Amino acid sequence: MTKHNDDLYPTLDHLDRDGAIRETAEGVDGETRAAFFRKAGLAGGGLVAGGALLGGLPSVAAAKPSAKRDVKILNFALTLEFLEAAFYVEARDSGALSGRTLDFAKLVADHETTHVQFLQKALGSAAVKSPQFDFKGTTKNQGTFQQTALTLENTGVRAYLGQAAKLTPKSLKAAASIVTIEARHSALIADIIGGDINATTPDGPFDRGSSMAQILKEVTATGFIVG
């Protein structure tokens, strides 16, 4: 019995679980975007037959960095920085932290607040407003704070790295100056926690980026953003 095409070939949903293909297409306008999906065999989330996907991927080059795209990406980064700044300020002032963990919270609260101010200045009137946050008690227990901080810092690294190739050179330079600090934060809190040395490099010898869609999905799942 011959299988239906749906059983033979993966759909866009299967291939694009983290939203990277759709995210690339967002940077392509009008008919060019439609052509990208047609060539890749992805129109309407349709089927990918044989080498159709690979044959269509060179169209990704059409999604070139632009000032308009920079604004979208930098506002995405700003939203994450708002979250981190609020998290660390609340933890710093909670009275629940001590020792190196408190020192870490003080340092990073200052860094993340500075990142917010830097991105707001870069974006000017295009900057988004800060959401409202509820950190669900994660700032009021030292152990919980440590693990949450480690997760947030590693998420920040993946978020910046995932957008790096989509930025214009000027914005890339600014983003790169932040992502290296996020990585140092991650290594520092991993050291403070102690235990598994591999926690300092969770992805091994190479950091990996994640799409905007995947990062937003993870952040939404925390329930930290409430309005």
The encoded tokens of residue 31 equal: 């008919």
In this predicted structure, what is the pLDDT of residue 200? 84
Mean of the pLDDT values across residues 48-59?
40
CB 194 within 8 A of CB 147: no
Length of the chain as a residue count = 227
Mean of the pLDDT values across residues 37-56?
43
List of domains in the chain: 5-62 (no CATH), 67-222 (1.20.1260.10)
Q: Distance between CA 202 and CA 25 in Å, rounded?
A: 29
CB 57 within 8 A of CB 16: no
In this predicted structure, what is the pLDDT of residue 199? 85
One-letter identity of residue 210 = S
pTM strictly above 0.85: no
